[in-house]
Amino acid sequence: MARHKLTLKHKRLIAAVAAVGAVAGGLGIAAGANASETTSATRPEPSPERAADTPSKKQPVVKVVVKSVLAPAATADVVPAVTYDTTLAPLGARVQVKEELRRDGGTRIELRLRDLVANRAYGAHVHTKPCGKLPADAGPHYQDQADPVQPSVDPKFANPDNEVWLDVNTNKDGSARSIAKVDWRFREGGALSVVLHEKSTSTHAGHAGTAGLRLACVNVPFK
């Protein structure tokens, strides 16, 4: 009889521990979802048993997502995104940049914008340096094959296959979305921001890649 009571106590103890573990796990997920504006996630490798059956899933897909709002340029040292022109890129306008590393070796970049000027064209590109208090601080466009002549305005180098162009046209609400796909990956530490420009990107010789003044910038730790 005593043995039966001991077993019952054990069962109750196990159930209590399991319940606490479930609650703790749930809290961990909730906290992780809101812990940071910048997130990086890698899909786990399949188990050895499943890897043999799904060879296309051996390479993980890494995602970088940055969500922020445009802040004054003077705060560039402490915020992810800034504006240099509060008329065309208003304070508080929202920006999101997402990077995916494709399994074929390429890269997919998505730009989302909200609360900009309605029904307007903007240029946007990936740049080599982080945002600063001055528009020029973000450096030149990132190029897979670097143009030996700088600034680069040769369409052989300044083009959407060798750079990342994310030009957008806003709707009546000032929102826009664009996607760029390239067949290569960024060099480590070589691409650190996305810059929003005042007009669509030019493609002709002598002006290729130019898009007018730099209006805003968001830091992105591209992989």
Predicted local confidence at residue 17, as pLDDT: 33
d(CA 190, CA 46): 30
Predicted local confidence at residue 61, as pLDDT: 85
Between 17 and 137, name the one with better pLDDT. Answer: 137
Is pLDDT of 173 > 50?
Answer: yes
What confidence tens digit (pLDDT) does each residue in 188-210 have?
A: 999 999 999 999 999 999 999 99
d(CA 95, CA 218): 8
Tell me the sheet residues that pair with 98. 65, 110
Q: How many CB atoms lie within 10 A of CB 207?
A: 13
For the chain, what is the mean pLDDT?
Answer: 82
Is pLDDT of 149 > 60?
Answer: yes
Q: How much helix, strand and coil, in percent to the nearest 5, is found in the chain?
A: 20, 30, 50
Whole-model pTM? 0.76
Predicted local confidence at residue 62, as pLDDT: 79
Predicted local confidence at residue 79, as pLDDT: 98
Predicted local confidence at residue 57, as pLDDT: 54
Is pLDDT of 59 > 80?
Answer: no
Cβ–Cβ < 8 Å for 192, 128: yes
d(CA 28, CA 72): 34
Assign 68 to helix, strand or coil.
Answer: strand
Spatial strand order of the sheet with 94-101 comes to: 38-42, 62-69, 94-101, 107-114, 176-182
What mean pLDDT is predicted for residues 130-134?
A: 98
Above pLDDT 90, what percent of the chain? 72
What confidence tens digit (pLDDT) does each residue in 72-116 have?
A: 999 999 999 999 999 999 999 999 999 999 999 999 999 999 999
